[in-house]
């Protein structure tokens, strides 16, 4: 905690350059994912664009890999003003509000195109909720489609019974419950270690995180079922944003729009590459048996039905807009 406070104090001070009293702002941006991940590279480019466009008036320091705040602490940090902006996986917060979890329901939106459509349908409700909590959405980028990683072959949901199932959000815990696995929440930054110690042996995520965490050292099978594409959002404290001069605000918004377009494109382009790396490192990759897919579809149907009840009229409006 003290270390965190010191780090913030050192980098987020408002300093003045020369005698013209032109304020230079230094912002801290925590993220939960490693430096070489495509989201983080995109964020670095976003920060660089802002630096350039403001001629160095707004400097953003990116703290990757959960080094300043753990992935699941970033929202509260931005909300509480300990960080001016940050990257969150929005479905990580669906216990606060079901709307945050709509992008992580199995088989509701399974391609980039559907995922974009679902984002357009859910964006206003998502933004309104975050705005109530004092935060503004700058941009979204999806993770590649989610598949199943396992240390042993899986032919149907029955084979998942009793698995030590790593979860990264409430919906992935719920899937574990529905298939009779034991959910353990582990952030991406701790996944390699959790696998090495045997705390977990099965999980759903993208080829991107499989690659980042070098999971082939423990797990040998990847079932590329493309069940959903969860999104990361970059959010800023409204108060911090309002504290910028107009040109800097415009620079942030412009860089955010570019990062959103770039991020969606890179996620899709790099997905194939990530899967290739899993194969190159000795993993068996296939699309999953018809039985496994059918079993998971049922899990998805249960979850859509539950979600619709929990999310009420707002949820129904999102689904109607998505399915139109």
- Kindly list the residues in this chain that would bind ligand PCA in the complex (CB under 6 A): 89, 143, 168, 188, 205-206, 208-209, 230
Q: How far apart are CA 43 and CA 308, in angstroms?
A: 33
> Rounded to the nearest whole angstrom, what is the least distance from the CB of residue 318 to ligand PCA in the complex?
21
Rank residues 104 and 237 by Cβ distance to ligand PCA and give the closer one. 104
Rank residues 50 and 102 by Cβ distance to ligand PCA and give the closer one. 102
Question: Which of 83, 242, 98 lies closest to 169, judged by CA?
Answer: 98
Q: How far apart are CA 189 and CA 186, in angstroms?
A: 8
Rank residues 122 and 209 by Cβ distance to ligand PCA and give the closer one. 209
125 three-class SS: helix
> Rounded to the nearest whole angstrom, what is the least distance from the CB of residue 65 to ligand PCA in the complex?
12
> Rounded to the nearest whole angstrom, what is the least distance from the CB of residue 73 to ligand PCA in the complex?
14
The encoded tokens of residue 137 equal 């959405």
216 three-class SS: helix
> Rounded to the nearest whole angstrom, what is the least distance from the CB of residue 232 to ligand PCA in the complex?
8
Q: How far apart are CA 35 and CA 32, in angstroms?
A: 10
Residues in the chain: 324
3-state helix, strand, coil in the chain (%, to 5): 55, 20, 30
Rank residues 122 and 206 by Cβ distance to ligand PCA and give the closer one. 206
Contact (Cβ atoms closer than 8 angstroms) between residue 271 and residue 144: yes
Rank residues 98 and 210 by Cβ distance to ligand PCA and give the closer one. 210
Contact (Cβ atoms closer than 8 angstroms) between residue 83 and residue 68: yes
> Rounded to the nearest whole angstrom, what is the least distance from the CB of residue 238 to ligand PCA in the complex?
26
Residue nearest to ligand PCA (CB): 206
Q: How far apart are CA 303 and CA 323, in angstroms?
A: 17
> Rounded to the nearest whole angstrom, what is the least distance from the CB of residue 7 to ligand PCA in the complex?
23
Rank residues 84 and 205 by Cβ distance to ligand PCA and give the closer one. 205
Q: Which helix (H) or strand (E) holds 95?
A: none
């Amino acid at each position: 905690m003290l270390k965190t406070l010191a780090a913030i104090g050192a980098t987020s001070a408002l300093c003045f350059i020369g005698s013209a009293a032109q304020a230079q702002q230094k912002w801290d941006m925590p993220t939960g994912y490693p430096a070489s991940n495509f989201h983080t590279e995109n964020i670095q480019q976003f920060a660089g664009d802002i630096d350039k466009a403001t001629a160095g008036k707004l400097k953003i320091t990116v703290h990757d890999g959960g080094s300043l705040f753990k992935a699941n602490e970033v929202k509260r940090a931005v909300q509480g003003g300990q960080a001016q902006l940050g990257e969150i996986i929005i479905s990580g917060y669906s216990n606060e509000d079901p709307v945050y979890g709509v992008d992580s329901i199995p088989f509701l939106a399974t391609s980039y195109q559907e995922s974009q459509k679902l984002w357009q349908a859910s964006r206003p409700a998502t933004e309104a909720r975050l705005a109530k909590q004092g935060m503004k959405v700058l941009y979204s980028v999806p993770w590649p489609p989610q598949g199943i990683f396992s240390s042993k072959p899986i032919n149907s949901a029955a084979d998942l019974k009793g698995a030590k199932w790593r979860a990264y959000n409430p919906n992935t815990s719920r899937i574990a419950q529905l298939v009779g696995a034991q959910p353990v929440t582990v952030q991406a930054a701790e996944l390699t270690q959790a696998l090495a110690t045997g705390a977990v042996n099965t999980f759903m995520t993208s080829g991107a995180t499989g690659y980042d965490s070098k999971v082939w050292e423990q797990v040998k099978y990847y079932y590329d079922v493309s069940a959903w594409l969860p999104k990361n959002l970059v959010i800023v404290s409204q108060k911090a944003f309002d504290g910028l001069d107009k040109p800097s605000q415009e620079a942030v918004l412009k860089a955010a729009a570019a990062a959103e377009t770039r991020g969606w494109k890179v996620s899709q382009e790099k997905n194939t590459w990530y899967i290739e790396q899993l194969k190159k490192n000795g993993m068996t990759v296939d699309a999953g048996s018809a039985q496994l897919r059918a079993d998971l579809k049922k899990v998805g149907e249960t979850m859509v039905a539950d979600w619709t009840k929990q999310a009420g009229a707002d949820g129904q409006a999102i689904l109607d807009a998505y399915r139109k």
